[in-house]
């Protein structure tokens, strides 16, 4: 592991990068969660997301302190990427269903 950075708004979320071209986002609250065999093929339950957009080794990254779930990452080729995971990755399906129900009630 080359670098680790904690999400400034969520104490169980961190991002890490190795010597490769990928940045991983982890949710430590999911450690030891039960998984189906199909889900286990994608990695451990605490691995939320792998950003594989860089073509060179990532040299630095930072969580955006103002926008939840936004990360800026830069690689050795000096290409900066600012990105955010899809909402369904970091929210439970139940949370999303509740948000949709509230939005429907409000209209």
- The per-residue pLDDT for range 24-70, each reduced to its tens digit, is 999 998 888 887 888 777 778 889 999 999 999 999 999 999 998 99
Is there a contact between 72 and 80 (Cβ–Cβ < 8 Å)?
Answer: yes
Domain regions of the chain by residue span? 3-106
- The per-residue pLDDT for range 65-96, each reduced to its tens digit, is 999 899 999 999 999 999 998 888 887 665 54
Q: How far apart are CA 101 and CA 19, in angstroms?
A: 43
**And the tokens for 65?**
């302190």
**And the tokens for 12?**
């169980």
Full-prediction pTM beyond 0.85?
no
């Amino acid at each position: 592991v080359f670098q680790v950075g904690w999400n400034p708004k969520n104490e169980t979320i961190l991002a890490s990068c190795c010597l490769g071209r990928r940045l991983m986002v982890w949710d430590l609250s999911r450690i030891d969660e039960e998984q189906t065999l199909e889900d286990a093929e994608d990695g451990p339950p605490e691995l939320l997301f792998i950003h594989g957009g860089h073509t060179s080794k990532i040299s630095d990254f930072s969580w955006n302190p103002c926008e939840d779930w936004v990360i800026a990452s830069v690689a050795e080729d000096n290409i900066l990427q600012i990105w955010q995971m899809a909402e369904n990755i970091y929210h439970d399906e139940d949370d999303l269903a509740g948000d949709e129900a509230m939005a429907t009630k409000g209209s």
